[in-house]
């Protein structure tokens, strides 16, 4: 009997926790990576478990009530997970500090990947950057996040990070086309590209848009060494296009 009471209390605490996050749209989430990562892991696990339960219930004729309950819980934890992603993005985009700089006082410079990995974003630099980048895109587009959440609530679905990122990409493409028209430029033709091709092209376009046409004329020894290192990495990764 005691175990049942404890289990019920824990479940009630979890539901209260989720409801509070949803009510505040994630504003009451912890503001450190060490605390937000467990929230993301837990909410994703809960969302996945309830989705699996809902899918299983759909296969049984007399389990509509179980399906609806599981779907509602999955939706709730899916929303918690998205607000957690938003909070993570808000945190990581502020992580600048000593990235790419070096001084006697500060000690050796460290890369963004190293900062993200050491903070616990992921055990791998590439995955850490990708995870932080997606979270930052969500944080930069709260209106799209809210729209995806509202549509999921209206349709009785479970909102996902992939869905939010997809809607952000659609919005960015519309803005790009509108800018091209406003500037009198011909919009790029629609191409049928695979998902991984689209992501790579977007990354290239992002690099081109941010990289100045000409490098600085005067370099310090440390600055030139750092720039050459990054340039070598970019050249190496693009060697396939010279074949």
pLDDT tens, position by position, 21-74: 999 999 999 889 999 999 999 999 999 999 999 989 888 877 888 889 999 999
Q: How far apart are CA 201 and CA 8, in angstroms?
A: 50
Look-up of token digits 């467990």: 38
Q: Is 26 exposed, middle or buried (0-12, 13-18, 19+ CB in 10 A)?
A: buried
Give me the pLDDT at residue 237, please: 84
223 inside domain:
no
Q: How far apart are CA 130 and CA 86, in angstroms?
A: 14
232 inside domain:
no
Q: How far apart are CA 207 and CA 201, in angstroms?
A: 10
Give me the pLDDT at residue 122, please: 84
Give, for all 243 residues of the chain, the pLDDT tens digit.
Answer: 444 444 445 566 888 889 999 999 999 998 899 999 999 999 999 999 999 999 898 888 778 888 899 999 999 999 999 999 999 999 998 875 444 443 344 455 578 888 888 888 888 888 888 899 999 999 999 999 999 999 999 999 999 999 999 999 999 998 888 887 777 665 555 667 787 888 888 888 888 888 888 888 888 888 888 888 888 888 888 888 875
Q: Which domain covers residue 92, as residue numbers?
A: 2-195
- SS percent in the chain: helix, strand, coil, step 5: 70, 0, 25
148 inside domain:
yes
- Secondary structure class of 207 (helix, strand, coil): helix
125 inside domain:
yes
Nearest to 161, CA basis, from 196, 135, 195: 135
Q: Are 102 and 109 in contact (CB under 8 A)?
A: yes
Report which DSSP code applies to 103: B
201 inside domain:
no
State the Cα torsion 89-130-83-32 to the nearest 10°.
-50
237 inside domain:
no
214 inside domain:
no
Give me the pLDDT at residue 189, please: 58
Other beta carbons less than 10 A from residue 29's beta carbon: 21
Please tell me the pTM assigned to this model. 0.66
133 inside domain:
yes
Number of domains in the chain: 1
End-to-end CA distance of the chain: 71
């Amino acid at each position: 009997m005691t175990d049942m009471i404890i289990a019920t209390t824990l479940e009630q605490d979890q539901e209260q926790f989720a409801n509070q996050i949803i009510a505040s749209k994630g504003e009451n989430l912890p503001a450190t990576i060490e605390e937000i990562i467990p929230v993301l892991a837990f909410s994703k696990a809960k969302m996945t478990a309830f989705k699996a339960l809902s899918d299983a219930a759909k296969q049984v004729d007399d389990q509509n009530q179980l399906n609806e309950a599981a779907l509602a819980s999955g939706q709730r934890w899916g929303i918690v997970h998205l607000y957690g992603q938003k909070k993570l993005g808000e945190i990581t985009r502020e992580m600048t500090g000593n990235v790419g700089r070096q001084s006697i006082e500060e000690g050796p410079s460290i890369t963004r990947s190293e900062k993200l990995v050491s903070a616990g974003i992921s055990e791998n630099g590439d995955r850490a950057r990708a995870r932080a980048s997606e979270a930052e895109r969500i944080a930069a587009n709260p209106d799209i996040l809210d729209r995806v959440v509202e549509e999921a609530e209206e349709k009785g679905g479970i909102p996902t990070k992939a869905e939010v990122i997809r809607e952000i990409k659609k919005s960015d493409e519309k803005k790009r086309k509108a800018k091209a028209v406003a500037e009198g430029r011909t919009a790029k033709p629609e191409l049928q590209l695979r998902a991984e091709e689209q992501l790579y092209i977007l990354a290239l376009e992002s690099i081109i848009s941010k990289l100045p046409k000409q490098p600085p004329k005067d370099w310090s020894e440390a600055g030139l060494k750092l720039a050459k290192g990054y340039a070598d990495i970019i050249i190496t990764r693009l060697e396939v296009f010279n074949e």
